[in-house]
Amino acid sequence: MAIFPEFSQSFYKMQGSGNDFIIIDNRTQRIAPQMMGHWARQLCPRAFRIGADGIIFLELDASGQAETIWHFFNADGSRAEMCGNGARCATFLAHKLGMAPAKHRMLTDAGTVQAEVFPEEGTVSVQLTPPRDLRLNLDLVLDEKNMVVHFANTGVPHAVFIHEDISVLDIPKLGAKIRYHQYFAPAGTNANFVQILDQGHILLRTYERGVENETYACGTGAAASVAVLHALGQCAASVAVTTSGGEILQITLQDTDIFLRGPAQIIYQGQFCPAHLGL
């Protein structure tokens, strides 16, 4: 029951390795897909609204392809095919709400995601779509300087730049230049900046398309970075990825499959009045 009668919409706030999300249980509210981008733009701005990197509408899948289905939107209202950390949060909540067993499938725009929740650890493993469109040693010109980047699509597009010390890089500035580079037009790309510590451990900073800034973590970016490094012979098949938020994601390559494992946490449950927020 709502504290105030007009506060009719409930939601969950979750985070996975510093990526935070608003998740709506859409089984009863049934927000129409054509309105979801507007909801993202209204709810995701920080300080003035709930604030999040993105919003997820979670439903049961009636097609039989999976137990659940999601609709994921970035903070700017753009629909995204996939988000690794968002998938971990959504599958964790689906299990918590009784929508799916600990091991289940979730249908995304990038395909069906296989997931397993480990409640005792508070972690979730998701099998991402196999990396595709791998491109190595791309020569890009940024501000009249040559820059070698790599590329892989792990559900969404990711450019990968390797540097000996990513702490000195201006990620918002450099990330935006790569994200909007004409080579990746018209859709653009996410931009990842990798520092190799050893064959089994890397540091990662990511500029996310749709958020248009550096985020604390990016699961598909971690997967793309490891896929690129492994193709270059610079990392093992299982790698610990320390994100900007300080948490560790584990990326494991098995033949053509790629797995992402890390923590997922429900921060709080709340309610709001859609009319007060222009919804």
Closest C-alpha to 163, from 144, 180, 149, 146: 149
| Residue 4, pLDDT score | 60
What percent of the chain has a predicted confidence (pLDDT) above 70? 97
Residue 135's contacts (CB-CB under 8 Å, 6 or more residues apart) are 150, 151, 152
What percent of the chain has a predicted confidence (pLDDT) above 90? 86
Angle at 71 between CA 48 and CA 271, to 5 degrees: 40
- From the centroid of its chain, how far is CA 2? 31
Residues 49, 110: Cα–Cα separation, whole Å:
29
Domain membership flag for residue 35: yes
For residue 232, what is the domain's CATH number? Answer: 3.10.310.10
pLDDT above 80 for 1? no
pLDDT above 60 for 240? yes
First to last CA, the chain: 20
User: Count of domains in the chain?
Assistant: 2
Tell me, yes or no, whether 195 and 160 share the same domain.
yes
Residues 128, 256: Cα–Cα separation, whole Å:
10
Helix (H) or strand (E) holding 250: strand 248-254
Domain membership flag for residue 223: yes
The mean pLDDT of 243-270, rounded to a whole number, is 95
Tell me, yes or no, whether 77 and 20 share the same domain.
yes
Distances (CA, A) of 210 to 33, 60, 151, 271: 18, 26, 18, 25
The answer to whether the beta carbons of residues 75 and 210 sit under 8 Å apart is: yes
The mean pLDDT of 172-192, rounded to a whole number, is 97
Q: Express each pLDDT in 195-232 by its tens digit.
A: 999 999 999 999 999 999 999 999 999 999 999 999 99
Domain boundaries, position 41: 9-128+264-277
Domain membership flag for residue 245: yes
Q: Express each pLDDT in 116-165 by its tens digit.
A: 999 989 999 999 988 999 999 999 999 888 999 999 999 999 999 999 99
| Residue 5, pLDDT score | 58
Domain membership flag for residue 178: yes
| Residue 3, pLDDT score | 58
Tell me, yes or no, whether 163 and 89 share the same domain.
no
Catalytically active residues, by annotation? 83, 218
Tell me, yes or no, whether 124 and 186 share the same domain.
no
Tell me, yes or no, whether 153 and 206 share the same domain.
yes
CB-CB neighbours of 3 under 10 Å: 7
Domain membership flag for residue 39: yes
The answer to whether the beta carbons of residues 164 and 195 sit under 8 Å apart is: yes
Spell out the long-range contacts of 4-7 with Cβ–Cβ below 8 A and sequence spacing 24 or more. 4/273, 6/273, 6/275, 6/276, 7/271, 7/272, 7/273
Question: Which residue has better confidence, 193 or 48?
Answer: 193
- Dmax over Cα atoms in the chain, in whole Å? 60
| Residue 273, pLDDT score | 85
Q: For the chain, how many residues are written?
A: 279
Domain membership flag for residue 207: yes
Tell me, yes or no, whether 212 and 240 share the same domain.
yes
**What's the chain's average pLDDT?**
94
Tell me, yes or no, whether 151 and 241 share the same domain.
yes
Tell me, yes or no, whether 141 and 236 share the same domain.
yes
